[in-house]
Amino acid sequence: MTAVALRPHRQREPLEWLAPAPLWTSPPFPTQPWIAELRTDDFVHEFLGVLAGAGGGLTSLAPQHTVDGAAVTTYRLFSALRHRYNLVSATLACRRLGLPDHTLRSDRDEKVSFVIHGAGDDVAGVVDGEQEYPVHRAPTAPGADFIPRTLWFGYLPTPAVTDSSTVSGPYVARLVLRYDPGCTVVSAPSPWFVFAAPRDDPDTPSNDLVNGVL
């Protein structure tokens, strides 16, 4: 009789989405993705520079305009025509001691994206056939634990609207990891956001919501 060594079954490592690692202070770490606002056409390089330690850190990139009357913090996001570029970001970590970054595995066909949902009908997953937007990986400077990390970020697209229309909302964004057929790891929802109408002036605050109702 010939003995055959059997390959042990590999248990899936639990993964989770957390707020970007540069925002971590002490555990438990926040789980909400971060929305950043940049104001130059070279916004990707500026964002990468902040992650590397330049400027005032990610907190300095929080969108400057919020919506009056909202029951929760709701960002008012302007389009590239107003020199505003908005990114959503988060860290994908392994749920074990030290929360090390998870590196995508090609053998499991792992892919990362993000989705945008209406805040009123948000689901903790991906609806069949809905638009998934591309996400990119970027290195960050070592944090309080002195460990260099990476985060994932994606560009929040501005809807195609006419000058006379008002864009509905609010919306949330969720980052998504897909691997092996049928498996997903979805982040918590981002902060709420609404898109400004094309002719709105980003330097003139205006009310979109009254008591949290559009």
Condensed to tens digits (0 to 9), the pLDDT of residues 97-146 reads 878 888 888 888 889 999 999 999 899 989 888 999 999 999 988 766 66
- The whole-number average pLDDT for the span 146-164 is 78
Residue 25 neighbours by CB under 8 Å, 6+ apart: 144
Question: Within 10 A of 60 (CB to CB), how many other CB atoms are there?
Answer: 9
- The whole-number average pLDDT for the span 25-32 is 89
Task: State the Cα–Cα distance between residues 50 and 135, nearest whole angstrom.
Answer: 18
Confidence of residue 2 (pLDDT cuts 50, 70, 90): very low
Question: Within 10 A of 175 (CB to CB), how many other CB atoms are there?
Answer: 26
Could you check whether the bond before residue 170 is cis, i.e. omega within 30 degrees of 0? yes
Placement of tokens 């860290």 in the chain: 91
- Whole-prediction pTM: 0.84
CA distances from 160 to 13, 68, 82, 109, 157 (A): 40, 24, 14, 32, 9
Q: What is the pLDDT of residue 75?
A: 94
Confidence of residue 203 (pLDDT cuts 50, 70, 90): confident
